[in-house]
Structure 1
Amino acid sequence: MQVTETLNEGLKRAYTITLTAAELEDKVNAKLAEAQPEVEMKGFRKGKVPMALLKKQFGPRVLGEAMQETIDGAMSAHFEESGDKPALQPKVEMQNGEEWKEGDDVTVEMSYEALPEIPDVDLKSVKLERLVAKADDASVDEALGNLAETAQNFEPRKKGSKAKDGDQVVMDFVGRVDGEAFEGGSAEDYPLVLGSNSFIPGFEEQLVGVKAGEEKEVTVTFPEQYQAEHLAGKEAVFTCTVKEVKAPAAAEINDELAQKFGAEDLAALKGQIAERLEAEYAGAARQVMKRGLLDELDKLVSFELPPSLVDAEADQIAHQLWHDENPDVEGHDHDKIEPTDEHRQLAERRVRLGLLLAEIGQKAEVEVSDAEMSQAVMAQARQYPGQERQFFEFVQQNPQMQQQLRAPIFEDKVIDYIAELAQVTEKEVSKGELQKAIEEMEDEA
């Protein structure tokens, strides 16, 4: 077999791989000889089928297998000897494929873009700033007030008061379609919060203004895609007897409220809230530091980038931004979105940093554990309630999806590794200053 270089320009590579007819025939004969002892054919004992007959019966299939295995082997040997790592799957084309016939030499053209050599970076020289925000009393009190609202009670309004949006209406109701009550359409002493959108669209709005002791007929139409097929798209009339109208009242902030949320007392609940807030602040501060680290690394390194990776990333950025600006378009059957110079600059940064972080992570032997992958899969599966099992099976059978889940975990672990080596100084800031830093980072993205 002969491998001849035909292009070596920048990161672009091309080679011609020639497999002679004699080499291919030897490979076919060897595979047939290996299989011969197990072959059974009418008129012959097992393992006694003549080679000529085997070649006639199985030759074309084995020829294709031998050709593919030999070319794959030649490619693997080339990458091992050259040290090249292709940026994307190499393009392989058989020359004169339509005209080729058995007995001819096989000539294949292989082309690819090699990944560049990544320069070493002195990570200990990198200087970073980590913002530290503490949960002050005002922030804790604000979060505590929000908790009290979620634990709100409802207190009876004055007799004769009309129900408002946000009020709770306690009622009995009977629903009828075509004059007949239907299963699941009746209840007694049902507490419905107006504006909660927990009932059929249009139902709650018709109860705004009702009073305790009043009877109200509510007419609605079930959605066309309603879960109960026998009701889908049909008009229903609900006879509602209002028993009470109650106004929302925030729960009192005391030990009893704290115990509702699993804390021993109010002081313990405040401590838990402070911990949660500071964990949120730490997460936000980490994002700011990560952005600062990426900015520093981007200044420190410069190397040639594979054009195919930059083009693919620029296309993806342009496509995503277009959908962000056109949220009503859900499909992808629109015209191709052409990347701008700004998209390409951002793509070059992402590709450069992606390759650099991958190199640093590989040298540091950073790995994503099975447990970390399982957590990531479980987190994604929660977005598909009732279909978790199908999602797990989809991920197991889809290497590309596995890589999409693994990549951000790997990147974060590499970022943590670099931060451990870098010169990191801490700066204490207020919640407002941290928020401003986050907003500035998002504006620059």
Structure 2
Amino acid sequence: MNVTETLNEGLKRGYQITVTAGELDAKVLEKLKEAQPEVEMKGFRKGKVPMALLRKQFGPRLMGEAMQESVDGALTSHLDETGHRPAMQPEMKMTNEEWKEGDDVVVDVTYEALPDIPEFDFTELTLERMTVEPDEASVDEALENLAKSAQRFEAKDGAAEDGDQVVIDFVGKKDGEPFEGGAAEDYPLTLGSGSFIPGFEEQLVGVKVGEEKAIDITFPEDYQAEALAGQAVVFDITVKEVKGPVAAEVDDELAKQYGAEDLGALKGQIRERLVQEYQGAARAVAKRKLLDILDEKVSFELPPSLVDAEAGQIAHQLWHEDNPDVQGHDHPEIETTDEHKALAERRVKLGLFLAEVGQRAEVQVTDAEMTQAVMNQARQYPGQERQFFEFVQQNAQMRQQIQAPLFEDKVVDMIFEKADVTETTVSKEELQSAVEKLEDE
């Protein structure tokens, strides 16, 4: 077996791997000998089939396996010896396509090697991290929001307004005939909640108790019931009650609704939650500043294939954000711009750098951390948590998507610990302004 270098330009590498006919034949013979004790064939006892017959029967198939294993083994040995880590899957092409048994196998291999990542002394970094102490006004505001969420409805005089609750009987009719699923009695509907199809709630603003009303509605084209999608219908409605919202009192009873012993305990819980929210926001701002510094100070050659792939992904994502109505990928080819490429270069550089820093420091994402992260995402699918867990277990790419940000955050926290970080107390408004600035960039 022979490996010859054919390309060495920047991070691009090319090699020609030659596996001789003799090496292939020896590998096939080795495989036949391994299988011989278990082979049964008519006219021969188990394990006593002649080698010549085995070669005739199984040789062609084993030759293909031997070729693949030999080339893969040669590439693995080469990567171990050189220390190269391909940025993407190496491209492999057999040069003698008219190969026949008895010929050598010659394969051209090309790839881009990951660059050498420079060392960095994080103790020389000077960073600032904002801190915010929750004030009483913020706690009181959160309490008021909880009271609004715990609101009840009480009967009122006069016409229904947006935000009121109406209790109604209704019957939906298509071409004069009631349709399945289009009727209900004593249904409590909060106007402005958006829980019914567009146009339904809006036409009930202004109704009064005892009023009967027919409203015209056209179902959306993408409505889940195909028989009603895009269809015009009429709902006959009887208004039985009109209720106005009444916020809950901020007292011990409200606290108990939210699982606290009393109002003082609820305030303590709110204060702790606000501290966590402020710390999370401050960390996001500090992390962006850290990445900006690293982007400026760290420099190394980037694999073009990774940059191009990342730029394409960025362009594709931004295109879909600008065209939310297009759900699939049946759209014109999306061209990448210099702006996409610049952002891709930053992401690739910082991604490779943080990955290398984490590997050198032996940063690990524990099983418990992964499980917690999966549980957090599973909560986004109520009633389907088990299916989500099973999907993650069976999908290596999904596990990598969940693990990657966990790993990066642990590396960033490690850098914060080594750097000179100054805590600066700011107002809630100053922190919010810094967060909004991040979102605008």
Give SS of 2:146's match.
helix
Q: Distance in 1 between matches of 2:46 and 2:90?
A: 42
| Mapped partners of 2:293, 2:419: distance in 1 | 11
Q: Deviations over 1:91-113 (max 9, x none)?
A: 1111122x111110001111111
Matched residues in 2 for 1:191 and 1:40: separation?
76
Measured against aligned partners, the alpha-carbon deviations of 1:381-419 in whole angstroms (never above 9, x if no partner) come to 344444444433333332222211111111001111111
Distance 1:318 1:206, change over 3 A: closer
Q: Tell me the residue number matched to 2:321.
A: 324
Code of the aligned partner of 1:133: V
Q: Distance in 1 between the 2:227 and 2:312 partners?
A: 47
Q: 1:320 to 1:221 in 2, by over 3 A?
A: closer
Cross-structure match for 1:33: 33
Alpha-carbon separation, structure 1, partners of 2:182 and 2:308: 57
CA distance 1:146–1:10, change in 2 (3 Å): same
Cα displacement string for residues 52-97 of structure 1 (whole angstroms, at most 9, x for unaligned residues): 1111111111001011111111111111111111111111111122
Q: How far, CA to CA, are the matches of 1:49 and 1:275 in structure 2?
A: 77
Tell me the SS of whatever aligns to 1:332: coil
Q: Partners in 2 of 1:61 and 1:224 — Cα distance?
A: 55
Q: How far apart are the structure 2 equivalents of 1:399 and 1:277? A: 36
Q: Is 1:249 aligned with 2:246?
A: yes
**2:128 is equivalent to residue 156 of structure 1:** no
1:12 alignment counterpart: 12
Following TM superposition, by how much is the alpha carbon of 1:22 offset from its aligned partner in structure 2, in angstroms? 0.8
Moved more, 116-125 or 188-197: 188-197
**Corresponding position: 1:209 with 2:213:** no
Counterpart AA for 1:152:
Q
Deviation at 1:37, TM superposition (A): 0.7
Helix, strand or coil for the counterpart of 2:336? Answer: coil
Map 1:236-385 onto structure 2 (within 5 A): 238-385=235-382
The 3-state SS of whatever aligns with 1:154 is strand
Aligned to 1:403: 400
The alignment yields a C-alpha RMSD, in angstroms, of 2.5
Deviation at 1:329, TM superposition (A): 2.8
Q: Secondary structure at the match of 1:48?
A: coil
- 1: CA distance between counterparts of 2:229 and 2:437? 49
Corresponding residue for residue 79 of structure 1: 79
| Equivalent residue for 1:198, pick from 192, 195, 215 | 195
Alpha-carbon spacing, 1:15–1:429, altered in 2? closer, same or farther (3 Å): same
Aligned residues: 441
Q: Is the 8 A contact 1:2 1:18 kept in 2?
A: yes
1:253-292 CA-to-partner distances (Å, cap 9, x unmatched) read 2222222222222232222222211211110100011111
| 5+ residue gaps, structure 1 | none
Compare 312-321 and 221-230 and name the one that shifted more: 221-230
Partner of 1:136: 135
Which residue of 1 is the match for residue 425 of structure 2? 428
Pair 442,168 (structure 1): closer, same or farther in 2 beyond 3 Å:
closer
Q: TM-score when scaled to structure 1?
A: 0.91
CA 186–90 in structure 1, closer or farther in 2 if over 3 Å, else same? closer
Please report the TM-score for the alignment, with normalisation by the length of structure 2.
0.92
Worse-superposed segment, 224-233 or 410-419: 224-233
| 1:99-110 matches, cutoff 5 A | 99-110=98-109
- The alignment partner of 1:29 has SS state of helix
Distance 1:250 1:69, change over 3 A: same
Please give the alpha-carbon distance, in whole angstroms, between the structure 2 residues aligned to 1:183 and 1:337.
44
CA deviations 1:7-61 (Å, max 9, x no partner) are: 2222111111111111111110110111011011122211111111111111111
Q: How far apart in 2 are the matches of 1:174 and 1:371?
A: 52
Structure 1 residue 342, shift from structure 2 partner: 2.4
CA distance in 2, matches of 1:108, 1:347: 32
Structure 1 SS opposite 2:129: strand
> Which deviates the most, 355-364 or 243-252?
243-252
Q: Is the 8 A contact 1:167 1:248 kept in 2?
A: yes
The AA in structure 1 aligned to 2:316 is H
- 8 Å contact kept, 1:121–1:300: no
- Answer yes or no: is the 8 Å Cα contact 1:92–1:109 preserved in 2: yes
Q: CA deviation at 1:345?
A: 2.0
CA distance in 1, matches of 2:61, 2:228: 58
The answer on whether the counterparts of 1:125 and 1:423 sit within 8 Å (CA) in structure 2 is yes
Instruction: Give, in whole Å, the separation in 1 of the partners of 2:8 and 2:165.
Output: 75
Moved more, 199-208 or 334-343: 199-208
Task: Please tell me whether the aligned partners of residues 318 and 343 of structure 1 are also in contact (alpha carbons under 8 angstroms).
Answer: yes
Shift of 1:124: 1.4
Equivalent of 1:392, from 376, 389, 392? 389
SS of match in other structure, 2:329: coil
Displacement of 1:172 in angstroms is 4.2
For 1:261, the aligned partner's letter is Y
| Mean CA deviation greater in 359-368 or 342-351 | 342-351
Provide the residue aligned with 1:439 in structure 2.
436
For 1:281, the aligned partner's letter is Y
Choose 54-63 or 338-347, whichever is displaced more: 338-347
Change beyond 3 A, Cα 1:165–1:115: same
Does 2:56 match 1:56? yes
* Compared CA separation, residues 357 and 207, structure 1 to 2 (3 A): same
Amino acid at match of 2:187: Y
